[in-house]
């Protein structure tokens, strides 16, 4: 049985650490992304659901009152009608875990995905992923000077663009 807690701003890791110290099992999904910071592409690990933390309360139901008083936790998400926390199924947690590992994996880029080049002179160019040429190279379709060009780059130099 899993419940969801709202954390204080950018304190997800602190809340997870404090809850683990109290004996709770927590799940904080993270993904590896490349960010353009100070004119350089850097690889960072980010929290998948900013401001939220999943907590397993399978055998710790009598300690649930301690969660709201934990450093880093803002509040538990509670159903106002019943007064009990929202329950999340194990299948949903497994699905989120699989999606987080897939999003962090470079092999998750598929044909037709929007990508951006993150290294070299062509950094900040965006295009469409066409295919993998080899284990380390990929073919992209890039619009350059009002014409579409095919371009071959290192797979490690591209990042999938996630559209909302």
Residue 30 neighbours by CB under 8 Å, 6+ apart: 45, 46, 47, 48, 100, 104
The predicted pLDDT at position 47 comes to 92
Residue 106 contacts residue 155 (beta carbons within 8 Å): yes
The predicted pLDDT at position 149 comes to 92
d(CA 63, CA 46): 29
Could you give the domains of the chain? 2-104 (3.30.70.940), 109-160 (2.30.30.30)
d(CA 66, CA 55): 12
The predicted pLDDT at position 164 comes to 47
The predicted pLDDT at position 107 comes to 52
Say how many C-beta atoms besides its own lie within 10 A of residue 137's C-beta. Answer: 14
Rounded to 5, what percent of the chain is helix, strand, coil?
25, 40, 35
Give CA 74 to chain center in angstroms: 21
Query: What is the chain's pLDDT, residue by residue, as a tens digit (164 residues)?
Result: 899 999 999 999 999 999 999 989 999 999 887 777 787 777 888 899 999 999 998 766 667 788 989 999 999 999 999 988 899 999 999 998 888 777 665 557 888 999 988 888 887 789 999 999 988 899 999 998 889 999 999 988 888 887 64
Placement of tokens 């960010």 in the chain: 35
The predicted pLDDT at position 92 comes to 92
The predicted pLDDT at position 106 comes to 52
The model's pTM: 0.68
């Amino acid at each position: 049985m899993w419940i969801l807690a709202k954390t204080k701003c950018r304190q997800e890791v602190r809340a997870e650490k404090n809850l683990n110290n109290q004996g709770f099992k927590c799940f904080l999904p993270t993904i590896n992304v490349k960010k353009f910071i100070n004119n350089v592409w850097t690889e960072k690990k980010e929290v998948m659901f900013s401001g939220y933390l999943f907590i397993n309360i399978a055998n710790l139901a009598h300690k649930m009152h301690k969660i709201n008083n934990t450093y880093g936790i803002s509040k538990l998400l509670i159903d106002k009608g019943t007064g009990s926390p929202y329950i999340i199924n194990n299948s949903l947690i497994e699905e989120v875990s699989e999606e987080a590992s897939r999003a962090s994996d470079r092999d998750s880029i598929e044909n037709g995905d929007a990508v951006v080049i993150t290294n070299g002179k062509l950094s900040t160019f965006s295009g469409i992923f066409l295919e993998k040429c080899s284990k380390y190279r990929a073919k992209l379709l890039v619009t350059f000077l009002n014409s579409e060009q095919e371009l071959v780059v290192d797979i490690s130099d591209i990042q999938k663009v996630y559209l909302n």
